Amino acid sequence: MKKISLFMLVGFLALVIAACGNSNEDNGAKKDEKLEAIDAKLDVPEKGEKGEPVSLSTKVTKGDENVDDAGEVKYEIWKNGHKDESEMIEAKHEKGGLYKAEKTFQEDGLYTVQVHVTARDMHTMPKTEIAIGEVGAGEHEEAGEDHHHGDHESTVSIHLMKPDSITAGEEAEMKVHVENKEAALEDARVRFEIYQDGQEKHEWVDLTPDEAGKYSGSYTFPEKGSYNVQVHVTKGEEIHEHSMETVDVQ
């Protein structure tokens, strides 16, 4: 009996050790999979014509997998020198991780197109330029200076991540992702300035740093309506940027 019991005990321990080994391997594989970053390949023509639609597309992948379930894909477009007047366009998923939108430019000039992609708890925002119609030599020179000397248009990107729906009287959690020169901007002061058109009093909310380049905060909107949420980012004397977005509260 003792020999049989000892044999059974040894066998049981062997099974437990093997199970633990498999569990650790599975956890390691899952961890490696989670750490793999998403990739967004932005495809925009180099040139376009005023008054004619231009196709914008982005292929989103994670390793060899097409990402069909991105939480958000938006194109931010502005004429160089006018970042404060940027426009956001929602992209639609077609198939195989391809997200598309169209934009008709009303003026000649050099424009920046930046795609904001949020998927699998990660965020990326590559950008490129497109020349519409006749572009003066001065505009090309200014663009070149922006890329080499770090003008705010080409170095700092601010992206607000908010819930799909916000209800008046309920706390809304929001995050901001900030990059400088295509790298996460850490140790910055990030604040919300929240107000409605015609409202004299503006509410200010300080955000808390999370992981690299991400800041989080919350705000309870008092009533239904459309609110302006302006994100202010400052760091030392060199960086003082802001970005505006409209939020609809139900």
- Asked, colleague to colleague, whether 38-149 and 158-249 share their fold, the answer is yes
pLDDT value of residue 84: 77
In sequence order, what are the residues at sequence separation of 6 or more whose Cβ sits closer than 8 angstroms to the Cβ of residue 166? 172, 221, 247, 248, 249, 250
In sequence order, what are the residues at sequence separation of 6 or more whose Cβ sits closer than 8 angstroms to the Cβ of residue 98? 57, 58, 59, 60
d(CA 9, CA 15): 10
Element (H, E) at 205: strand 203-206
Q: Is the Cα dihedral 132, 137, 138, 142 positive or negative?
A: positive
Q: How far is Cα of residue 69 from the mean position of the Cα atoms in its chain?
A: 15
Answer yes or no: CATH 3.40.50.10860 is held by domain 38-149: no
pLDDT value of residue 22: 54
Query: End-to-end distance of the chain based on CA atoms, in angstroms?
Result: 73
d(CA 106, CA 139): 17
pLDDT value of residue 35: 53
Tokens of 233: 């980012």
Residue type, 229: V
pLDDT value of residue 231: 92
Tokens of 160: 């607000």
Cβ-contact 53, 126 below 8 angstroms? no
pLDDT value of residue 227: 94
User: What does the domain layout of the chain look like in residue ranges?
Assistant: 38-149, 158-249
pLDDT value of residue 139: 59
pLDDT value of residue 30: 47
Residue type, 243: S
pLDDT value of residue 58: 96
Q: What is the largest CA-CA distance in the chain?
A: 95
Q: Which CATH superfamily is domain 158-249 in?
A: Immunoglobulins (2.60.40.10)
Mean per-residue pLDDT pooled into runs of 10, the chain (250 residues): 53 55 51 65 94 96 93 91 86 95 95 89 85 74 44 69 92 93 91 88 92 94 93 87 88
d(CA 71, CA 116): 11
